Structure 1
């Protein structure tokens, strides 16, 4: 019996090759997209799950309120985590991480024998780091790897770059950075083969070594100095919520006086390790998180594409079913029961779905590199043990197969034989209403995606073209990462200023587009220090304003020796109760430090991304120190007046080699860094672009199949119309008109849904493009145009058939 069913099914598929190809292609492409998106989302949720007892590990986040400002940070003060372990028995272990990039040290010069190169992503960590977090040790062991000062554990790619085939254990490398030049002994090599982590470092330095790591050991601040990423592991069975309720009293016990002194409200919260990578909105993340909203959008896109592919399949299946009505009648006359017919039709449907979805898997292997490039991910394809992917695959096969096969299986099989054999079935079983409804739904989804493309592209264009309050074009930043380089910086800067292609050269600790870690409370004389503002600031020289293209609205620029003067933005002036036009000359007091004077007020500019409103901000002429902490401008911003960057870089490289022999040169275009701020949205736009076009393509495949079926059903009608004088254009219009109404109805339904979805998405931006009617009309027009082209091609083909061939059977 099964063999008979299979033979009949294969014969049907061969007999209707075009419909089989359309069905299989649509399902294969839709399932490929759906499976990849599921793999991508699963990969994003897999971060940190490889850690032993990951569910017991929590990060200590800080929520601050100061000077009327409120924000949440992933960092906290250094003594908090160690004291938690002492005071609470449920805290089994703690560890802290201090990324050197937080303090402007983006690169470290690493030397070993004759090799020298810069390395990024370097973190100071406690000796307990590898007790809390699980890494695979390729060389060495976790236990005592970072107990001694000036020891380092390397990530395997970094170890291979430094040592090649040599055994790295026990070898000494020299790390040269803003903290000086020091030798570090290699005590371990780890890789990330166990799983991905929100903590990524190429080198893990022992915290008790030097620089900011050693400082973390000595500082006893409970209000300020919030620069450590602190983690605790709770004992089995401990209740995090109960511990969290005890944290306010704990913080008050040790830090009440300090908090009161600086006028700060601070609250400690425990964030589960497994939620870190998919939570956004916190300041100071070590790696860029992927928000749950973004992942939900991707899953929605996957669902929409799969639904569109399934609708295609069901539409064509129901359309072809009426062609088999007489077959059903004959089978029933010959004794076939309803159960046999149901099994026959469902089996054929499931077989075709299995073929279509089965083809998606090898296609996914082939397309994986391109899809990874599209999403910026690195997802390996291991389907053998991936239960969720196989569950999805089985669900697609069963749901699509049963839904598509249910109409012919249950409706046709129940129809009375006499009516089928007489031909009285067309009006009952054509299921035209069902197909039209499915086409409406299909194009509603397609128009939603196309409108999403239009709005997201408009927002990104707005972001990239918006006046940020400074000039980003033709700005190049050179980096000075160690004491030797900084010592030769003045000579390099002066030589650059002699070039005809250079307008200005300024120095700063940061530049626009970077996360700024410098902040300090400031207040006016006579004001309550508890109401102090807490602005972010750059430490700059007297040329930075001109180099960055910042506009002053009052006062003057810095002059040489202006170390006790600041330039504030308009927002800070207003928040201090000052008129921006009259603020210059006003004194400000940095909390617990000598007063400074406002030299000028600059026009508000977006030093951070457009996700945020402009906040109080200032430039401080340096170098300068606060409470024993000091910073020196280590980035050189060059304002050029040339479009010939290759020629300029040749000149700059020659100057670098002259002034800094033996130092590797590092530079970036500031506009590239500004664009990086919107990397997640650019990725989202690329994903939606690609998958929306795929969704429209799948929809058009279905329309092509339905148009072909409609033309086939009306072959004799077309022949008669042509004999009676109908033109090719008139017949094309007749056949195409049937498909215009469903698309227009889909547009009417999609528009309000798209407006709601895009309005919500735009709320994540402080500066956003206004939603306009043309965005939605454009999405509908594009979908309608593509649909009409698809249908018209098939209609034109049918209209040009010789009527003699159409009518000869009559």
Structure 2
């Protein structure tokens, strides 16, 4: 073994270019592979730290409103407590309401002289901490949300509010859309046990008035599907059998209500450990990650590592002639084939180990940048996470075997007598395999480059598509407390006096936000069993003018237009109306036990994408209701070339009209783009790791080109003596590699088309896949390959032929 190691080190030191290319390639591949595997492991770790996590389920709702199917992560308020009362299998239940999803995104928190706005407030039932496991820094974990106006704080918020004081027992004031109340801090928790989709800076007792009071008293079984409901089942419960009881359970309490609405509903139990990796729900407490996205990342990790291994295999077989006599001599003095296989595999494992050892410090340096790309906070805990060592060991072993197996068996199979005699060429002709591996490398590179082009084109399409409204030069101001909402009118009027302000409107929502309110409507002669489910927003008479939405029939709102609505084209068609018959038509609705109510159509607006382009436009109506209490947003249309001056003027008005609140705003176009965070992240990830894959491929191609030039050294010298030009020699040395890249392009095109077509199906509005995308990807690959190869070719062509021929 000592001799093997000594021989391996001597060979690596003697062949510095070979060693450098392999070690750098393996290090870069291992860095990418290790980070991606850590990222995927991190995404799958969500909610697995809860005690008895396997027995915790979320109740989700599949709804069908006369063909309009919706998949909700939440359900109606009475579902979970009634399930606990009816079924012995249910050990405990807890409901959660995210205040941000019901109109209160921020809360003004005060303690003594400190005050600031805070987000992510969750209203939760008393049983919440019986089901979900958190680390309690301060306070008692038993029933911290039992009494009204109890609150549990996340440690960063507690530190910001109390500093070094013990928060337990202290009273804090919270002002929001539900009013101003004092809350008693019963505990402080942190998230050190693990990540969860249930992230909250504040956990407020459900029975604390406001939305919590509404949830506790509401008995609706069809609508109000905004309550995230969890149950903990008794150990050894047959979940399938329990799931089969739920249709009868829902029918027992909600059958008549659902029938009256013409609605079908199904309750589904979702394991809490699957929530973070199950996308597709209309509303969520936190964004879920698509498993196909994680599979793509794992595939990229494997491919990058395979590309690095291919470099090793190609360079090892290419340089076989350098080691042929070594093999022959070893065999003559008694080495068996298994001895030689052990030696060459040992060299491969040594290179793999060096590559991993080099990758670790590089990964630590690159971690902040990679975390920024993936929007996460992965930590490389080498001494506290045994999984990392298992992962590193597995990478060394697998990489060593994959990279070294073929060269080991290939080199050890040489016939000693023929090799020592010099009859070597026919035995080491692995050119065909090397060409195949180079083609494979560039197939992967071209597929990844095509992915970059298609994803960029789709994102550019999203950015520039006419959404039916004008998102540019729009400012959004939000008012989260009763006190600040009372100042909205004065602030809006003052804004209208500024020369650079075109229009100002107030609304309960704005494009780019999820529209949570919907209800069924029907024209005269219909009923709720034939109603069309329509999303709706409330606003004033300035909304269309401010947002640039086009009116195609009827009129816009005017002051005191109570009971009037403007509908979109999709709702017009669903109702069976025309542009001529729609204006003045009444739309009715009824949710028992409430009486029938109606609104009147004042106008029809052109369809606009108020939600993301993942979804087709739904039936929608805008209601005139400027005095409704939850109109907490001001949308401001500006027309300025000097935003710095304009914003300073607006800030001065804010401090005059709303002195109690900090000056905060957002741009509407940025809010709209937030809907595509997952796609932007995917684009950045693929860009980064595709670049790494190409660099590793180029390293191998550089090494092969150098070897090829070295092998044809004398041929080049003779050709130069006979008058060959440098250009001709470069063409001669490059043409073989160009052919390989062109073959790779032909193979990669259908693979890339299939993969990108699957990805684009997630969008209701998408670009067509065009031939130029594959042509551009192939051209980029050709240019990269030719640049890499021509460097060595030019170097070889410029060598003085006297040097290469002097020994002849």
1:500 positional shift: 0.4
Deviations 1:641-677 (A, max 9, x none): 1132111111111111111122222211011111110
CA distance, structure 2, for counterparts of residue 412 and residue 175 of structure 1: 75
Match of 1:378 in 2: 377
Match of 2:588 in 1: 589
2:650 to 649, 652, 661: 652
Q: Is the 8 A contact 2:528 2:589 kept in 1?
A: no
Match of 1:47 in 2: 46
1:631 positional shift: 4.2
Match of 1:233 in 2: 232
CA distance, structure 2, for counterparts of residue 256 and residue 92 of structure 1: 26
Match of 1:142 in 2: 141
Q: Is the 8 A contact 1:85 1:92 kept in 2?
A: yes
Match of 1:448 in 2: 447
2:129 is aligned with 1:126: no
CA distance, structure 2, for counterparts of residue 215 and residue 518 of structure 1: 16
1:424 positional shift: 1.2
Q: How does 1:726-805 map to 2 (within 5 A)?
A: 726-805=724-803
Deviation larger for 387-396 or 768-777? 387-396
Deviation larger for 302-311 or 400-409? 400-409
Deviation larger for 373-382 or 353-362? 353-362
1:691 to 660, 684, 689: 689
User: 3-state SS of the aligned residue for 2:708?
Assistant: helix
CA distance, structure 2, for counterparts of residue 539 and residue 407 of structure 1: 69
**How well do the aligned residues superpose, as a CA RMSD in angstroms?**
1.3
CA distance, structure 2, for counterparts of residue 632 and residue 593 of structure 1: 23
Q: How does 1:490-529 map to 2 (within 5 A)?
A: 490-529=489-528
- Go from structure 1 to structure 2 and tell me whether the alpha carbon gap of 1:593 and 1:102 turns closer, same or farther (over 3 Å shift): farther
Deviations 1:770-803 (A, max 9, x none): 0000001100110111000000001111111111
Q: How does 1:609-648 map to 2 (within 5 A)?
A: 609-623=612-626, 631-648=629-646
CA distance, structure 2, for counterparts of residue 308 and residue 526 of structure 1: 68
Q: Is the 8 A contact 1:554 1:582 kept in 2?
A: no
Match of 1:250 in 2: 249
Q: Please give the TM-score of this superposition, normalised by the length of structure 1.
A: 0.98
Match of 2:299 in 1: 300
CA distance, structure 2, for counterparts of residue 780 and residue 673 of structure 1: 36
- Go from structure 1 to structure 2 and tell me whether the alpha carbon gap of 1:414 and 1:480 turns closer, same or farther (over 3 Å shift): closer
CA distance, structure 2, for counterparts of residue 722 and residue 91 of structure 1: 87
2:705 is aligned with 1:707: yes
Match of 1:477 in 2: 476
Which sections of structure 1, spanning at least 5 residues, go unmatched?
625-629
Match of 1:717 in 2: 715
Match of 2:488 in 1: 489
2:218 is aligned with 1:215: no
CA distance, structure 1, for counterparts of residue 402 and residue 249 of structure 2: 60
Match of 1:205 in 2: 204
2:365 is aligned with 1:366: yes
Q: Please give the TM-score of this superposition, normalised by the length of structure 2.
A: 0.98
Q: Is the 8 A contact 2:313 2:407 kept in 1?
A: no
Q: Is the 8 A contact 1:136 1:191 kept in 2?
A: yes
CA distance, structure 1, for counterparts of residue 383 and residue 600 of structure 2: 67
Between Structure 1 and Structure 2, how many residues are aligned? Answer: 804
2:606 is aligned with 1:603: yes
User: 3-state SS of the aligned residue for 2:319?
Assistant: helix
2:322 is aligned with 1:319: no
- Go from structure 1 to structure 2 and tell me whether the alpha carbon gap of 1:718 and 1:671 turns closer, same or farther (over 3 Å shift): same
User: 3-state SS of the aligned residue for 2:532?
Assistant: coil
1:215 positional shift: 0.9
Q: Is the 8 A contact 1:68 1:533 kept in 2?
A: no
Q: Is the 8 A contact 1:108 1:175 kept in 2?
A: yes
Match of 1:809 in 2: 807
Match of 2:397 in 1: 398
Match of 1:17 in 2: 16
Deviation larger for 256-265 or 684-693? 256-265
- Go from structure 1 to structure 2 and tell me whether the alpha carbon gap of 1:461 and 1:420 turns closer, same or farther (over 3 Å shift): same
CA distance, structure 1, for counterparts of residue 404 and residue 692 of structure 2: 25
1:364 positional shift: 1.1
User: 3-state SS of the aligned residue for 2:764?
Assistant: coil
CA distance, structure 2, for counterparts of residue 406 and residue 166 of structure 1: 62
Match of 1:627 in 2: none
Q: Is the 8 A contact 1:553 1:581 kept in 2?
A: no
Match of 1:350 in 2: 349
Q: Is the 8 A contact 1:317 1:404 kept in 2?
A: no
